[in-house]
Amino acid sequence: MPTPSPTTCAPPLRALDGFSAALFSQYSDQLDEQGRHYLERIQLAAQRMGELIQDLLDLSRVSRRELSRQAVDLSALACEIAAELQAQAPQRQAEFVIAGGLTAYGDVTLLRLMLENLLGNAWKFTATRERAHIEFGAMGEGEAQPPPVYYVRDNGVGFDIAYADKLFAPFQRLHSQSEFPGTGIGLATVQRIVARHGGKVWAEAAPDRGATFYFTLGD
């Protein structure tokens, strides 16, 4: 009897992905082109379902997690995330402009997840640009000492603002999966994190003219 592979006792999706990868690696020469195509689609579907489940778990944890508030250096977090994004695709021509000294009082884990989603979206939707430009900054509004309005701005593909009400609902997407992959959970997670900090989030955009996401984090 053959020795079980490490994936034999793994969760079902991981096992499906692992065994289909093994099948493709060891037996692809015995399959015709159509068979290999089906096998590739099984692998991609398993991987995408794994991503979706993880994103849904993150969204659930955002709602249930007890907030641990502290002073958070948002500028430092944004710089770390930008460096990670650039390391994943060093061939891309991209410029990050991150304002210094931006701080907030909140849960550092959730605020990092929020920025990962916003900056990750900007990174994704500028992928077709010859040179991506992504900004993270803040502006004041109202009284002499207003709560700051933070923003993430990009020069990406943008979207029709008429459909902005769909942005922060789970599974709602304004671009096809073939154009820009994703699960449709990221902005719902952002909205929930912002709401738990007593703030609000909204967007401005136009097709082919980039997008800007604004958010506040309460007083």
What is the secondary structure of 112-164 as a DSSP string? HHHHHHHHHHHHHHTTTSSSEEEEEEEE--SSSSPPPEEEEEE-S----GGGG
Q: What is the mean pLDDT of residues 118-139?
A: 94
Q: Cα(219)–Cα(104) distance, rounded to whole angstroms? A: 9
Q: Higher model confidence: residue 79 or residue 208? A: 79
Share of the chain above pLDDT 90, in %: 44
pTM check: above 0.85: no
Dihedral sign from CA coordinates of 32, 38, 41, 43 = negative
Residue count of the chain: 219
CB atoms within 10 A of CB 133: 17
